[in-house]
Amino acid sequence: MGIVGVAGRARGRFAAVAAGGAVALVLAGCTDPGGPPDGADDVARGAVGVQLFQWTWPAVARECTDVLGPAGYDYVLTSPAQEHILGEPWWTAYQPVSYQVESRLGSRAEFAAMITTCAEAGVGVVADAVVNHMTGQDGSGIGWVGSAFEHYDYPGSYADADGDFHHCGLTGSDDIENYQDREQVQRCELVNLADLATETDHVRATIGAYLADLLSLGVAGFRIDAAKHIPAEDVTAITDALPDGTVVWSEVIRGAGEPVQPEEYTAAGQVFEFGFATQLDTAMTTNRGGQFEDLASGAGLLGTTEAVTFVDNHDTERNGTTLSYRADERYALANVFLLAVPYGLPVVYSGYAFSSLDGRDTGPAQDDGGAVLDARCSEAAGPDADVRNQGWLCQHRWPQIVPMVAFRSAVAGTELVDWWDEGSALAFGRGDRGFVVINLDADAVKGTWQTSLAAGDYCDVQTGALVDGACSGAVVTVEEGGTFTASVPAGSSLAIHVDAVPGS
């Protein structure tokens, strides 16, 4: 199914408005006069995000216009915007040198233009904000736009002599060695990265000024990178100074038995629920349908309005703690599940290919000067596509994933109903508005399923969208009483919903 045939949901949450040559982002319905956002509005309306990892600003802008807006994505999570160290690996972007909005992904003007373009497409920009640390190299250096720095000296921002950095003294290297020790996790260095003293007024003010600068360019909010390594009270103090309605997604990896847990950070906004991703990996890998029911409601995890959910991200696809694109059809089906269940605010990950053996540090394709080349997606993007090393995978365009963005909008606000699982297959409904069958088996599954849908014909959006009032793929007929009979091929899924009905 081509992207052009996908009908997006009605927009209006984000709109770009020109005023005196400047561009302001209007967050219609986003501001909560009573305090910071709790995620309830986004979850209730079925919002979906996408992380375009290491995409340049011009490429993101085009994707907002051509794909993300029409498909119904609400947010795009970009890579960090600030000046960083020089180097080819992906992680150079996560070692700030200054807070200038200039990087190998584009200029400040390109960043601002991207935000305007995405807003016009109805897509809000969430910027990845690296505020826990600065660089990790011991010697001096020069940043992307020429800023000189030392490991603990960043002219115009921070100086060790002013008490802007932690030196924990708890380990021989000052690096974190024991994640069971809260003080090490939050005061020692994460792999030698100069750890900012976020409890101090000056550091908080400097970080706050950077976030305010990005807000002035129109971002909808921030992903707080490495939030686990910042005390929750510091994250809250920094984010409390932001305008009401600012999106905040904190990165807090859930570790069994560890003292620092994601529940501590919900006062600042929503938190990435790594527990969902790791449990989904286990369920998809063992292919047992019965493991999914609790996961579909987030049992034992953050509350649904507090959680940002995902299948994988740029870290987990490299460290093997979750599924990744290498799982092919299982990865695609995991994203179907992510977008079909009512739990959390889902963010689809979209990155590039890299060697599984020795290329985990590999950065995106770059020119001779180190600037990242614009992402280009193949028309054949999908789990079966043959993508070379550093080639863009474009998971957000995969034919299994795209239709589920509209599915989530169609079933927004409904509960999980009519659960069924047998062997390596599962099925469930979303109130009286949608139904999904996921077949993890090596063989087709044929059955008759009970739904809460009204009788009538529905498009199976996994095989084709509703185009000009007709199903471009299979038609599923729901009988009086709510049942339908179908055969779902091995390693595939079926999805029907009330916004994809022939004749409408």
Per the CB < 8 A criterion, the answer to whether 421 and 293 are in contact is yes
Catalytic-labelled residue, pool 225, 234, 281, 499: 225
Q: Which residues of 462-480 are buried (b: 16+ CB within 10 A; e: fewer)?
A: bbbbbbeeebebbebebee
Amino acid in the structure at residue 212: A
150 is catalytic: no
Q: Compute the half-sphere exposure of residue 485: CA atoms within 13 Å on the CB side of its CA.
A: 1
Report the distance separating Cα 119 and Cα 121, nearest Å: 5
Place of tokens 């729901």: 478
Contacts of 178 (CB under 8 A, 6+ apart): 171, 184
Please state, in angstroms and as integers, the Cα–Cα distance from residue 420 to each residue in 331, 429, 439, 444, 450, following that order: 21, 9, 12, 16, 9
| CA-wise closest residue to 184 among 171, 195, 197 | 171
Per the CB < 8 A criterion, the answer to whether 249 and 221 are in contact is yes
Per the CB < 8 A criterion, the answer to whether 43 and 345 are in contact is yes
Element (H, E) at 239: helix 232-240
Report the distance separating Cα 454 and Cα 432, nearest Å: 7
Report the distance separating Cα 466 and Cα 455, nearest Å: 18
251 is catalytic: yes
Per the CB < 8 A criterion, the answer to whether 242 and 248 are in contact is yes
Report the distance separating Cα 147 and Cα 135, nearest Å: 13
Catalytic-labelled residue, pool 251, 306, 317, 499: 251
- Catalytically active residues are 225, 251
